[in-house]
Structure 1
Amino acid sequence: DAVFEEQADNAFVAIRPPGHHAEKATAMGFCLVNNIAIAARYAQENHGAERIAIVDWDVHHGNGTQDIFQDDPSVMFASTHQMPLYPGSGYENETGVGNIHNVPLRENDDSSIFRDAFRSRVLPAVENFSPDLILVSAGFDAHYRDPLGGLQLIADDFDWATGKLMEMAAKYCDNRLVSLLEGGYDLKGLSESCAAHVNRLMRG
């Protein structure tokens, strides 16, 4: 509400449990309900958002978010994630109605590979969609310390990716960007990554 009412440009929601694995009719993967899907529908129904971009950089594919929106052209979903890895979805040929953009990464992929993929695949998808609102499934289990993934990202990568999405938000949706916490299971990696993300949001 605060973002649409111009009380804030952006927001970070430190929510538990995470939500991006929860499908239309099924809870799974630590996720009971799909928090970001609820946020998207709330923005559409209460604030008139017509085009919402959801970007998910959790190490695991957001199968639930994809399941909910894959037939809905008003919501775009772009995901970087490790493959193969739970939940086993997120192939590039899973495109919905042209609104799904999956960018699988391999185990041990590092900052440079992630940034290249984000720059060449995710950002153009957001730009082509011209959203009214950007939502971020901000999982930090792609950090190299995390025990549930095998990517080699560092906290600065989340600062960088946040900044790039903020540039998109400034260009297309009056700075409106809201991120929701997803995975992250190493306390040091999680705290460093959250701090990098939130500090970048606060710097504007």
Structure 2
Amino acid sequence: MTTAIYTHPACKLHEMGCDHPESPERLIAIEDHLIASRIDDLLTHCVAPLASEEQLASVHTPEVVSRIKDLTPQQGYYPLDGDTLLNPSSWTAARASAGAAIGATSAVLGGEIENAFCSIRPPGHHATPDEAMGFCLFNNVALAAKYALDVHGLERVAIVDFDVHHGNGTEEVFKSDPRVLMVSFFQHPCYPYSGLDHPAPNMHNLPVPAYTDGALVRALVEQHWLPALHAHQPQMIFISAGFDAHREDAIGQMRLVEADYAWMTSQIMSIAKQYSKGRIVSCLEGGYSPSALGRSVVAHVKVLAGLD
């Protein structure tokens, strides 16, 4: 099984201050843990292309694309909101993150690789068509899914979001598109305080309380996600892979561990093998405890690569 890691050097250059949890150290921790686990050499490593402005505009308004480009400072920081800042490398990093998701999708659909994990930042699932927010600039998973649908002509795709926060941006993009099924769980109440009010029929949101552990999450996946995924029969699956529901992560208050991420990945793999020719592209979202993040990504990638 050929599993690729997509990333780009610019993804480590985007930073929002020394105390910001969404930091370059996240990608360094992932790299270190992949090497320490001795699976790094068993993976295909790809440098992400940079997404074009035309590709970004497939999901985002021209105004938001231009805003991020034009407001990227030559030095220092520019705050888009209280949590989301631009530094001189942010425009390139955002294009690299989106380009990784699109490039991995192209490679999977072209048969060059079976699946991919995009080790990227800034993350994306909070970015709406007309707003960057919640550490996110462009919606990487949404751009990849749109690319698969509109460029490669797929008829049905699924997005699985297991971040501790609701993927409000992804839901906003696809809530009226029956080609896309989105399944997610998220801590509630928690930022961005969305996902509960009359979700569209193609959105399967599962709000859970703080301190929810893996046993409950596994039960919810079996009861809700899997029947919906079987009914949709996706031709490709995209994962918004947030690891901030880990019990060691200070951003959220859930209680998942590495084995839970491995189990969820195995369930997604089973669906992909049945309906999607094994085609999966997973994109990093949250996860802010470097050690827990690195260990969880290793558990996730081992299953993707058939090394578990």
2:217 is equivalent to residue 114 of structure 1: yes
Structure 2 gaps of 5+ residues are 1-105
Cα deviations by residue, 1:81-114 (Å, 9 ceiling, x for unpaired): 10010000121x5331x10100111100101001
Match of 1:169 in 2: 272
Determine which of 145, 149, 154 is the counterpart of 1:49: 154
2:274 is equivalent to residue 159 of structure 1: no
* Partner AA of 1:94 in structure 2: H
Cα deviations by residue, 1:1-32 (Å, 9 ceiling, x for unpaired): 12111222211111100000001101110001
Match of 1:58 in 2: 163
State the TM-score, normalized to the length of structure 1.
0.96
Match of 1:133 in 2: 236
Greater mean alpha carbon deviation, residues 118-127 or residues 27-36: 118-127
Match of 1:67 in 2: 172
Three-state SS of the structure 2 residue aligned to 1:194 is: helix
Distance 1:176 1:202 in 2: 12
Higher Cα radius of gyration: 2
Three-state SS of the structure 2 residue aligned to 1:203 is: coil
Distance 1:149 1:125 in 2: 26
Cα deviations by residue, 1:36-87 (Å, 9 ceiling, x for unpaired): 1100111112221111100100000000000111011111111111001000
Match of 1:95 in 2: 199
Match of 2:137 in 1: 32
- Matched-pair identity in %: 47
Distance 2:110 2:182 in 1: 24
State the TM-score, normalized to the length of structure 2.
0.64
Retained in 2: the 8 A contact 1:59–1:149? Answer: yes
2:253 is equivalent to residue 142 of structure 1: no
Match of 1:191 in 2: 294
Three-state SS of the structure 1 residue aligned to 2:109 is: coil
> How much has 1:190 moved relative to structure 2?
0.3
Three-state SS of the structure 2 residue aligned to 1:47 is: coil
Structure 1 gaps of 5+ residues are none
Match of 1:180 in 2: 283
| 4+ residue runs over 3 A deviation | none
Three-state SS of the structure 1 residue aligned to 2:147 is: helix
Choose between structure 1 and 2 for higher RCO, CA contacts under 8 A separated by at least 6 residues.
1
- Count of residues in correspondence between the two structures: 202
Task: Provide the aligned C-alpha RMSD in A.
Answer: 1.0
